[in-house]
Structure 1
Amino acid sequence: MSDLRDALRPYVDSGAVPGLVALVARGDDVEVVALGVQGTSGAPMRRDSIFRGASITKPLTAALAITVIEEGFFDLDDPVDEVLPELAAPRVLRTLDSGLDDTVAAERPITARHLLTGTAGHGFATWESPVIGLLMERLGQAADDIHDVPEPDEWMRRLGEIPLMHQPGEGWTYNASYDVLAVLLSRATGEFFADLMADRLLEPLGMVDTGFHVPAEKLDRFTTLWSRDDHGVLQVSDEVDGVFTTEPAFASGSGGLVTTVDDWLAFGRMLVNGGMGADWRIMHEDSVRLMTTDQITAKHREMGGFFLDGQGWGFGGGVDTELIDPWNVVGRYGWVGGTGTSAYVHPDGTVAVLLTQVGLADPAVEMMQAFWRASAGLP
């Protein structure tokens, strides 16, 4: 196993990131590196430091959806409009570059499979579209303050007024479908999404520091969030006592969780073990295989552009399909988060988790690539 410390320390010493925690586990052999500081207080980073997970939330939302499907609340290919009537008769942009008033009726209903695979028609895209502005303005997608996002019923009402970017199943877009999934799961089960996540996934896996806000007694382990200004200078985006100190009205299935490296390791090991947690089965083995296998077409991957560079999409995460970089491993499943996080499960059982607190931009991207090289056993 490559030395994580040697691979990652230069990025902390240079000031590219204030701090990080990295973990690579192969079976019982676990290497963990904690470098730098948690935040503006100067407190040293520690193994159990808590980070904003951002989009490494998506694999957990996908797994939760599978558990609900396995319990019989709905089927993977059931239309979702019985539970989400706001999506009963969606309008669809006539072409990818159409204006908001140039729409046609949907040719087929949206299903849970569409939401899980990112093919429903909601979300960000690699092409210009007026829909993206509405997603950000009306729905709070990519909002800096999680409390700016309306509560789920109002969120769905607003979503229902926004046209789909493509016909269900005929394109690939990013992010928003996982917030739709959160509402679907909540309404189908009659539980708040955050409670459902805790009851069915986090607590059974012992993910004691993962949730949608940070309780007061854990703030000493929470990290400051930084971003880079137009000149590349680090600036504080959210402090320890900021927006994550209270529960949000909308618990985001696309990016709302805070977590630690050991918590995500517990989730990753469940996938490696075919759905088995430490004490009981979380998911069926066939469901894990489906979730971690590429589910989209070449056309979808082309539409995904930089989102899917060298990857397909399973449920909740990317799946390496090409060896375009040294660290790619065909079948590697996982994803990255906009707050500088990365979590992948390799076909050989390796679980690799990197948590930082700097938004995705160079040199943080270069640091993430160094981590991927090290986690793949490369010098």
Structure 2
Amino acid sequence: MDLHAHIASTVEPFVERGDPPGAAWLVARGEDVAVGAHGTHGPGDGTRIRPDSLFRISSVTKPIVAVAAWTLLDDGTLDLDAPVERWLPELADRRVMRDPSGPLDDTVPARRAITVGDVLELRLGIGLDFSGPFPGPVLSELGRLGLQAGPPAPQTNPAPDVWMQTVGSVPLSYQPGERWLYHTGSEVLGVLVARAAGSPLPEVLAERVLDPLGMTSTGFGVRAGQSGRLGPHWLPSDGGPTLTAYDPAEGQWSQPPAFPNAGDGLVSTVDDLYAFARMLRAGGVSDDGTRVVSEKVLAEATRPRVGPLDNGTSSWGLGLGVKTATQPDGRQAGSYGWDGGLGSTLWIDPAAGLVGILLANQMWSSPQPSAVFDAFWRAACSEGAGDPAVTGP
């Protein structure tokens, strides 16, 4: 079975049963590339999903914005050891909770300043602790103060300066550098990149990443003239006869947000994400030979720097995940990328020359990927024809 048929026969049975209603995918093994799409925008909408359909990529946003930060490391604008208070004075003179689950006013001084490296490594001291109760005292307080603390909702947060002032008004949960905490650091990174570069984040991202790579369908909201390519997004199926919409086609991503969220705010396509992945797989160089990021920074960014995470099989680099052991689904140690809980995955295995991308229009029901994602990766990483045990629900 060829690569295209192998991947299609894996994903399409899940879509046929409506879990998810639609998906697009791309798998590249060296120069062998399989691209496909199946399903529709959802119940009551017969619009077919195509490879150029737009998807809300949620946390796959993180590596894309991280690359913009890497370019600032390359040109000397940022330095991993530099205190971020130079650009983010709201994070100067931090107080740290004595007990991360205790009262917010029981604090001690931070032992040191938060650095650029802390932000990229998600060790600045604030964020989602997967080992503790959600959302915890600090994130609960940020939610009370008006910052979005749940699934992606781009229109809910205030403009970056107000957002940053609010984050600066709460203590850290942990000392800088002490613990990996998810997500909030990526949001902070977006503000840091914009202020360090001296332009709004969408402009910096376009200039340094999107435009050089020809990613014409990627942005914080749907670009002019592309609205018909984004359909509704759906909550996980509960096995019942109907699906519940999470976001309509003309919803949260239909217009630019006040706060361009570097943690989960982008829409994109499989083709755009493949252009991004090809650049990384090629050592930081685009198809036309433009160097986007240096080999030195790329190597530093994609090595294990934090962890172990995920039961000792994963780590975190500078803004993206890194596998440290071969996964049950076949992804090898050294692979890097990330997943998005709205239904997206992008990983690169540089040793095998493998790129895998799957975008779906249905949210996961838990932090663990839904079944189609596990089956997709087993198929993408396997060499032979599809195994019936993993090619369908």
- CA–CA separation in structure 2 for the residues paired with 1:262 and 1:142: 28
Structure 1 contact 38–221 (Cα < 8 Å) conserved: no
Structure 2 residue corresponding to 1:321, chosen from 320, 324, 338 = 324
Structure 2 contact 331–349 (Cα < 8 Å) conserved: no
Structure 2 residue corresponding to 1:133, chosen from 140, 145, 149 = 140
Q: CA offset at residue 230 of structure 1?
A: 6.8
Structure 1 residue corresponding to 2:229, chosen from 196, 221, 226 = 221
Q: CA offset at residue 22 of structure 1?
A: 0.8
Equivalent residue for 2:24?
Answer: 21
Q: CA offset at residue 228 of structure 1?
A: 2.9
Q: CA offset at residue 192 of structure 1?
A: 0.4
- CA–CA separation in structure 1 for the residues paired with 2:364 and 2:27: 21
Equivalent residue for 1:264?
Answer: 273
Q: CA offset at residue 237 of structure 1?
A: 1.1
Q: Does 1:71 align with 2:79?
A: no
The CA RMSD measured in Å over matched residues stands at 1.9
Deviation readout 1:14-57 (Å, 9 max, x if unpaired): 11110000100123211012000024421011010000010001
Structure 1 contact 344–352 (Cα < 8 Å) conserved: yes
- CA–CA separation in structure 2 for the residues paired with 1:135 and 1:353: 33
Deviation readout 1:92-117 (Å, 9 max, x if unpaired): 11133222122111101101110111
SS of 2:203's equivalent in the other structure is: helix
Residue type matched to 2:373 in 1?
M
Equivalent residue for 1:367?
Answer: 372
Q: Which moved more, 1:367-376 or 1:229-238?
A: 229-238
Q: 1:354 to 1:215 in 2, by over 3 A?
A: same
Q: CA offset at residue 145 of structure 1?
A: 3.2
Residue type matched to 2:264 in 1?
G
Structure 1 contact 340–355 (Cα < 8 Å) conserved: yes
Structure 2 residue corresponding to 1:119, chosen from 118, 123, 130 = 123
What is the 5 A alignment of 1:244-283? 244-279=253-288, 280-283=290-293
Equivalent residue for 1:335?
Answer: 338
Q: Does 1:293 align with 2:309?
A: no
- CA–CA separation in structure 2 for the residues paired with 1:297 and 1:367: 27
Q: CA offset at residue 326 of structure 1?
A: 3.7
Q: Does 1:206 align with 2:211?
A: no
Equivalent residue for 2:36?
Answer: 33
Residue type matched to 1:31 in 2?
A
Equivalent residue for 1:96?
Answer: 100
SS of 2:111's equivalent in the other structure is: coil
- CA–CA separation in structure 2 for the residues paired with 1:182 and 1:364: 25
Equivalent residue for 1:80?
Answer: 84
Q: CA offset at residue 309 of structure 1?
A: 6.5
Q: Which runs of 5+ in 2 are unaligned?
A: 388-393
SS of 1:325's equivalent in the other structure is: coil
SS of 2:155's equivalent in the other structure is: helix
Residue type matched to 1:184 in 2?
L
Q: Which moved more, 1:226-235 or 1:175-184?
A: 226-235
Structure 1 residue corresponding to 2:159, chosen from 145, 151, 158 = 151
Structure that is richer in helix per residue: 1
TM-score, structure 2 normalization:
0.90
- CA–CA separation in structure 2 for the residues paired with 1:364 and 1:345: 17
Q: CA offset at residue 364 of structure 1?
A: 6.3
- CA–CA separation in structure 1 for the residues paired with 2:322 and 2:7: 23
Equivalent residue for 2:313?
Answer: 310
Q: Does 1:59 align with 2:68?
A: no
Q: 1:214 to 1:326 in 2, by over 3 A?
A: closer
Q: Which runs of 5+ in 1 are unaligned?
A: none
SS of 2:202's equivalent in the other structure is: helix
Q: 1:113 to 1:285 in 2, by over 3 A?
A: same
Deviation readout 1:146-203 (Å, 9 max, x if unpaired): 1110100100110001111111111010001111111111111110001110111000
Deviation readout 1:234-276 (Å, 9 max, x if unpaired): 2111111112121101101111110000100011111111100
Equivalent residue for 1:7?
Answer: 10
Structure 2 contact 100–137 (Cα < 8 Å) conserved: no
Residue type matched to 1:191 in 2?
S
* Number of equivalent positions: 372
Residue type matched to 1:311 in 2?
S
Deviation readout 1:339-375 (Å, 9 max, x if unpaired): 1000000132211100001111279611110011111
Q: 1:7 to 1:114 in 2, by over 3 A?
A: same
Structure 1 contact 358–364 (Cα < 8 Å) conserved: no
Residue type matched to 1:321 in 2?
T
SS of 1:293's equivalent in the other structure is: coil
- CA–CA separation in structure 2 for the residues paired with 1:143 and 1:338: 8
- CA–CA separation in structure 1 for the residues paired with 2:86 and 2:263: 22
